[in-house]
Every structure is written in C-alpha cells, then in structure tokens.
Structure 1
Amino acid sequence: MKKEYQKFIPEKAIPFVQFLIDKHSFDLIIVNQRQTKHGDFRKLPNGKFQITINNNLNKHQFLLTLVHEIAHHVTHQKFGRVQPHGIEWKTIFQHLMLPFLQPQIYPKEVLPYLAKYLKNPKASTDADVQLSLALKGNRAETGKCFIFNIPYGSLFIFKNTIYKRGNKRRTRFECLNMSTKKVYLFNQNVEVKLHVA
C-alpha cells in the first residue's frame, strides 16, 4: 500500500524521506490547514513521537516542513531539551536537507533561495520572503494576491477583517485595522483578498 505522505512530496524525495521515517520512528499525521503553523513535532504522553503537517502545502513546501519537523525530533533525541531553533537544530536541519538539494527534487529556480536560507535557517520558512515566494512559484492562491502587490492606501481582507495598506518598513507593511484603528505589521508575502466596496 502506498503510504499517504508520498503523494504530498516530490517523487524523487520518497526514498530519502522513507529512510528518515524508518530511522527515526515517529507517527506522521497529515492535517487540515492551520493558520499559525505549517507543521509541528511533539512527544505524546505514551512516549511516542508525532509529526503533523498541513495538507494544503504544495509538494516542495510540504517536504521542507517535514524535514524541519524531523530535525526537531532528531535534535530532541540527541540533545534533549535545547532551544527549539537553536544551533543544534540548525545544524541537524542543514544536514538532513542536503540530500534534497537537487534539481530532480526542487525546481532550479528555488534551489539558490533554499541554499541561502539553509545557511542560517529561521523558525519559519515564511520569514524568508524570497524563499517563501519561490516555493509558491511566485503565485498567490486563486482569488488572492500578495500584500506587496496591493497599492498604497487600498483596502484588503485578511481573516475576515478589513485593513488598509500603509507604508512599507524594512521587510513589513504597516496596515490599519479599519474597525479597531490599530496598526499591524504584515509580512510582505502574506496572501490577502482585495476589498471591493
């Protein structure tokens, strides 16, 4: 029987992923989209380990998230309790990602951004705007657009709330919540819906 996760990752990545699953025993559960995270790793009360990954990610995002979470598991096994995204995790994540850095697995347009990101990986791939956009094929979800494509002063909807796009700071946009009049900072690659009055 074909394992469920296999349809979520690039075909050429399957042998590497299967090796990691066999070597570091854990349950992999594919779940519905969560707003705040792409995946997570946890030790269950029964002593088993579980990794969950969102089902809405494309194959390249899914694979990167899965290896990110496996790195948490391996870090936990090797070092116990350490900083979640500290030097131990970064080193293990870099090491685990190496076999996947090839054009048969990641598109050649993505590889330079991925290699740059892996020099000092952050807690979230979304923090790296260029990599995040490359992984999405520089296309927003149907019916949405990236916040950096919205003209200054335009209204948009995010999580059922209307905002007005303001100035760009270094890497984020100031956006005014139209109901509370509070200003929030938005990552420039957040996907939103234009508000049509």
Structure 2
Amino acid sequence: MQTHTGGPSAHPRRLILATRNAGKVSELRAILDAADLGIELVGADAYPHIPDVKETGVTFAENALLKAHALAQATGCPAVADDSGLCVDVLGGAPGIFSARWAGTHGDDRANLDLLLAQLGDIADEHRGAHFACAAALALPDGTERVVEGTLKGTLRHTPSGTGGFGYDPILQPLGDTRTCAELTPTEKNAISHRGEAFRALAPVVRELLG
C-alpha cells in the first residue's frame, strides 16, 4: 500500500469511479453502501468532457493510480480507479497488464481468449495455474493516494465454459470450485473475485480519508 499525506478534499462526500462501466459503478456502490460510508458515488460518464486516460504504467497499481489521479485533478473530487488482468504461471505472469489487448486489439475478449488457449494448448492440467489480479486506487485532488490489491487464484480450463462475466472468466476455474468464473452467479463471483476483494479492502480506506 502506498500513502502520501495531504489536506482534505474540496468535495469529500462525492467519489468518482474512473470507469464508464455501469457494472463496476454498481459493484462499488453496493460495497460502500454495505460499509455505511454515506458517500455519493458516480461514474466517469457523469463527466463526459474528460477524456479517458492512457494506461502507460507497467503494473496494475501504476495504471490504477494514473486513472485515479487524472480524474481527481480534472473534477476536484476524490476518485477511485482499478486495473486488473489475468496472470498465468507458466507465462511468467502474462498477459498481466496486457490482458485486455493480448491478441492486439483492446477489448476483443474472444480473440484474447483464443490466443491464450492456443499458447497453452500443450500445457498439462497440473501446470495451468493462474490468478486474476486487481489493484484499486483512491486519489484525492491534493495528491493523497492509496492502493489496495485483490487476487483470485485458480486453474485454466482447456476450453471455455459458461456465459456470465467477461474477459477470461470462461476459462478460469477458482480453486475449490468445479465451475469457471463465467458459470458463477454475479453474487457468487463478487464474493470471491479479485475486484470484489480489492473494493472491499478499499472501503475502510475511503472511511479513513473521507471521514
């Protein structure tokens, strides 16, 4: 966890989530509501004039901080951002920060999945360990920052299974389960997911910095 001290934010009761993904906004809102923080949460779509930030960092934490700081500076409000991906043991942690563009085009889930499965085609089950990783960052307009992380360990299937979720969910089978992440209900997935773990760890940080 990284910490830099600073003064209070000008807008301590509004928190901006650096995404235009309504699902992520709803997920963080549910976690913060459960923590009874009394924070107004809005997505980046509330600020359509602010451009998306290029993810030029070399770690999940760096990318999350880049996005959070950019939004905090642009809006004058505290901001939260996350970056996540799949880390495969036999690939030395790849695709990692390149997960969303592993096949070359950003966000082409099917192409990314097909390429990864082809690369792992000859890898035996006992060597198909992998985990999802997520870094969630909170940044205040004065430069204060915190980062927390979450992981979901599992093994990779040889073929996709399930229609839920997105990205690599159809091939990651969480440890202790017989289903892939894409076969879990949203509630089941949020309870164990890397993003859910990171966001839940972020709730007390929000309480500490925003009161």
* TM-score (normalizing by structure 2): 0.28
Greater RCO, CA 8 A, separation 6+: 2
- Which is higher, the Rg of structure 1 or of structure 2? 1
